[in-house]
Chain A
Amino acid sequence: MEADQIMRRYAGGDDAAFDALYAALSPRLYSFCVRLAGRNGDAEDLFQDAFLKLHRSRATYVSGANALHWAFAIVRSTHLDRLRKRARRPETLIGSTDDVLGAILESAGSPESELHAEALARIVEQELQRMSEKNRSAYILLKIEGLTAVEAAAVLGTTGDAVKQRASRAYEALREALSRAGFQQVSRG
């Protein structure tokens, strides 16, 4: 709610509201960027591009709308733009999960649980990067960011049913990947 009020001030031309807006939105927006684009420099570039676009089109923010969801939509739109540009200049950015899987299988049962958790997180991230952008974004919004199907559908520009189907496909893919790594289930989904 607070982010909405700050965004309304910023949309009205109050430049002084930028710092408060950044503080209110950046943690979840950055997390969303990392999930969408991966943990490399892409996420930071995506975050910066998206924040610039949010700034540039701030006057079009509709008072009363959920600022975070509006910002999610801008991030996703920016991400799609970047994917389109990348499709014109193809380059391999996503590696195989095999190396990571190997590492985690080697470390299985070791007391270094933090390393183990990090490796597991990498598997999840890589699996997220391997799946289609539609499935990935639906999963992130629905299962990680906690939006309802209707809210996620508005952000993604599709129907609630389509969001649920995509998130379900993504969940299955993640479960399979973790299962291959020796984990029987994910604690949420």
Chain B
Amino acid sequence: MADARPPFDPLLKKPAPPPDLALRVRSAVAKTPASRSTATRRIGFALVAIPVAIWGGLFGSQIIFHGRPLFRVDLWLLPEAELAERFVVLVLLAALATGIALIPGRRGLGARVVLLLIASLAVAPLYTLVTMVEPIGTPEGDAAARALHPLGLPCALVAFTVGMLALGAFGLALRRAVPAAPVNRAAALGAAAGGWAGVALFLQCPAKNTLHMLVGHSLPVALFALLGAIVLPRLLRP
């Protein structure tokens, strides 16, 4: 009995939208305001917000923790080549993560998921590697570091401030603009924000102590990817 049936593919039949649906959609669309800010403009604002976030975090820490210098005390005493090398690597790391997370790509749906995952997971370990393996410093910096909190809690607060400002700017840049993989995109945005927080800490804190570096610097940087993945997806979805 079954053999007598002709082969049939019901999936070839495409259901058509009912005519009244067009009227309903048109009416709903007419009542709904649409954003006029283009993706390029929003991303531009987010990029401008990065130095503002770093400056805000460093300046804010001066106000909250009286006497905390804006920049690390040994900034102008460090060997220029080493300082520039570390700084450029950290900035490139954060910029790369930001690019992967923010840029919509030619399909308009963001970077590939694998790239987003790499960006989300790689920033914190690479930051730790760059800042903790053979850390740069001077006797003046070491002396100043001895007065710092052993766990680097003020540094964690600076990282939180810078990271949150950057994350907020990134979130607004991609608000309602991520229909695909919003959690991955949000985690990558968080990692990028953490990367910029790390840059701020590098500019301000001369500490080399392992516990201080891990708890006060690397941990906040790492947590931002998680924070982004938890907080941002709802904002990013259309």
Q: Identify which of B106-114, B122-130, B154-162, B213-221 touches chain A.
A: B106-114
Contact with B along A52-87 (1 / 0, CB 8 A): 111111111110111001100110111001000000
Task: For B114, list chain A residues within 8 Å (CB).
Answer: 159
- The number of chain A residues with a CB under 8 A from chain B is 63
- Assess the A30–B21 pair: CB atoms within 8 A: yes
Contact of B29 among A52, A69, A70, A188 (CB under 8 A): A52
Q: From residue 16 to 39 of chain A, which have CB atoms closer than 8 A to chain B? A: 18-19, 22, 26-28, 30-31, 34, 39
Count of chain B residues near A, Cβ 8 A: 53
Let me know if A131 is at the binding interface, CB within 8 A.
no
Contacting residue for A65 out of B4, B35, B109, CB 8 A: B109
Residues 80-106 of A, flagged 1 when their CB comes within 8 A of B and 0 if not, give 010000000000000000000000000
Q: Select one of A26, A69, A74, A124 contacting B11, CB under 8 A.
A: A124
Nearest CB in chain A: distance from B126 CB, A:
23
- B148, CB-defined interface residue at 8 Å: no
Q: Does B15 sit at the interface, judged by CB under 8 A?
A: yes
Interface 1/0 per residue, A120-136 and B, CB below 8 Å: 11011000000000000
Query: Which residue of A51, A62, A76, A158 has the most chain B CB atoms within 10 A of its CB atom?
Result: A62
Contacts A27-B16, A48-B21, A70-B108 given: A186-B238 contact, CB under 8 Å?
no
Given A48-B24, A158-B113, A184-B2, residue A59 in contact with residue B39 (CB < 8 A): yes
With CB as the reference atom, state the residue of chain A lying closest to B33. A56
Find the residue from B33, B110, B237 having the highest chain A CB count within 10 A. Answer: B237
From the candidates B26, B36, B106, name the one contacting A18 in the complex (CB within 8 A).
Answer: B26
A2-B175 Cα distance, complex, nearest whole Å: 27
Binary flags per residue of B194-238, CB closer than 8 Å to A gives 1, else 0: 000000000000000000000000000000000000000000011
Find out whether the CB atom of B25 lies under 8 angstroms from the CB atom of A157.
no
Chain A residues in 8 Å Cβ range of B3: 184
How long is the Cα–Cα vector from A187 to B16 in the complex, in angstroms? 22
B interface residue numbers (CB < 8 A to A): 1-5, 7-18, 21-22, 24-26, 28-29, 32-39, 42, 104-110, 112-114, 174, 176-177, 179-182, 184, 237-238
